[in-house]
């Protein structure tokens, strides 16, 4: 069992205080957005045996187990993060596995450099993800029913939005959503900036259901993504609640601290709220124009105190243990690789004493026990 030394990524949208507060250290004044735990080559966790990438490459079968290697190859198929949003992230979607493979092969064939700003596919993998709130956590997830989105836009009282309101009343609903997102993203930039500015002022004035979008507009003035965001469901998670984000589902995180787990991929197609490249034709090919209420996940009680967040994919499996003072040790031994992350209290994982924000990597089949008084998340795979 290896204690992990993890990198914190200083993206501009990160909270300057949330991760330091969790870790019990003084803030630096700089944004601290994500702490990565895993074997992603961009920022692999470090151990006493080298980086986790080096540890796994030295003996994949020993570290990951035969079943995981046979299923996913000689690499850790998930990336675990602590995510701290102090400002909205970009509005985005992720491809499914077939779309990612074809997109990656196409861009490789065309010779687009991996670090090119207009590159869409950095790898051939999909990127389903799960966010579990540690604090109250705000986000956007999936399309609202078009009639509800029309009411929201109409309530702003802006003449230039009337054509969009009319579009949203058209049928079928998926075609209406596709048409309005296309219209928003391909509109004249100068005209759209004026409309977004007027919409932002109205959101400020109206507050209530409009408050999240006023906040978004404050961070991204004039960005067409502000209007695209109003097509989506606003979700507020309470601590312990989670959202699963599958392929093609437009989403954005707005604020809060959470544990995030995802398939080990960098494939992102952006819809707005970003200065980065937005490939509208490719985006429209990937987005699933399916309205509906987002499904908030709550952990399901399992054997021996495990609380599981059920998801339909196998690259990751996230659960947690809330350990009461004086309880017997919990046997966490598995035939698959694990990362154990403490988020509250004090937990003994094997010989490692973990406080909030600290984590360990457990090789496949390695004896693992957890005890103490606190909360520990377990990330592994289904193989």
Whole-angstrom Cα distance, residue 33 to residue 15?
Answer: 6
Catalytically active residues are: 270
Structural tokens at position 337? 């690789």
Residue 138 backbone zone (phi > 0: left; psi -120 to 50: alpha; other: beta): beta
Structural tokens at position 114? 């991996």
Q: In 3D, which of 146, 380, 381, 178 has the Cα closest to residue 280?
A: 178
Contact 61, 47 (CB under 8 A): no
Fill in the DSSP letter of residue 5. Answer: B
Whole-angstrom Cα distance, residue 319 to residue 310?
Answer: 9
Whole-angstrom Cα distance, residue 233 to residue 106?
Answer: 33
Cα Rg of the chain, angstroms = 22
Residues 6+ apart with CB under 8 A from 18: 32, 84, 86, 135, 257
Question: Does the N-terminal peptide bond of residue 172 adopt cis geometry, omega within 30 degrees of 0?
Answer: yes
Residues 6+ apart with CB under 8 A from 264: 38, 39, 40, 75, 76, 77, 78, 79, 125, 315
Contact 39, 60 (CB under 8 A): no
């Amino acid at each position: 069992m290896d204690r992990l030394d993890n990198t914190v990524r200083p993206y501009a949208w990160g909270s300057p205080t949330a991760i330091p507060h969790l870790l019990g250290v003084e803030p630096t004044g700089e944004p601290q957005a994500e702490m990565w735990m895993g074997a992603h080559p961009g920022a692999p966790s470090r151990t006493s045996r080298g980086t986790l990438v080096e540890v796994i490459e030295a003996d994949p079968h020993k570290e990951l187990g035969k079943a995981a290697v046979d299923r996913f190859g000689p690499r850790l198929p998930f990336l675990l993060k602590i995510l701290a949003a102090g400002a909205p992230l970009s509005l985005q979607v992720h491809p499914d596995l077939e779309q990612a493979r074809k997109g990656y092969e196409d861009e490789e064939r065309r010779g687009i450099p991996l670090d090119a700003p207009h590159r869409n596919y950095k790898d051939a993998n999909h990127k389903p993800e799960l966010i579990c709130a540690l604090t109250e956590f705000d986000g956007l997830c999936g399309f609202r029913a078009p009639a509800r989105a029309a009411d929201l836009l109409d309530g702003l009282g802006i003449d230039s939005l009337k054509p969009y309101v009319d579009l949203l009343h058209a049928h079928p609903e998926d075609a209406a959503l596709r048409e309005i997102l296309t219209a928003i993203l391909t509109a004249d930039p100068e005209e759209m900036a004026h409309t977004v500015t007027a919409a932002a002022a109205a959101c400020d004035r109206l507050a209530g259901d409009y408050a999240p979008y006023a906040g978004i507009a404050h961070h991204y003035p004039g960005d067409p993504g502000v209007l695209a965001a109003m097509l989506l469901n606003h979700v507020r998670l309470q601590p312990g609640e989670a959202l699963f984000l599958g392929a093609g589902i437009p989403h954005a995180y707005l604020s809060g601290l959470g544990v995030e787990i995802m398939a080990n991929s960098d494939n992102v197609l952006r819809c707005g709220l970003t200065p980065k490249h937005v490939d509208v034709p490719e985006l429209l090919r990937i987005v699933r124009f399916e309205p509906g209420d987002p499904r908030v996940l709550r952990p399901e009680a399992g054997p021996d105190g495990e609380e599981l967040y059920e998801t339909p994919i196998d690259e990751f499996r996230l659960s947690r243990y809330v350990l009461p003072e004086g309880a017997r040790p919990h046997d966490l031994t598995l035939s698959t690789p694990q990362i154990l992350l403490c988020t509250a209290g004090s937990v003994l994982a094997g010989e490692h004493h973990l406080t909030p924000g600290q984590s360990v990597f457990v090789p496949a089949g390695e004896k693992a026990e957890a005890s103490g008084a606190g909360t520990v998340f377990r990330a592994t795979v289904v193989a």
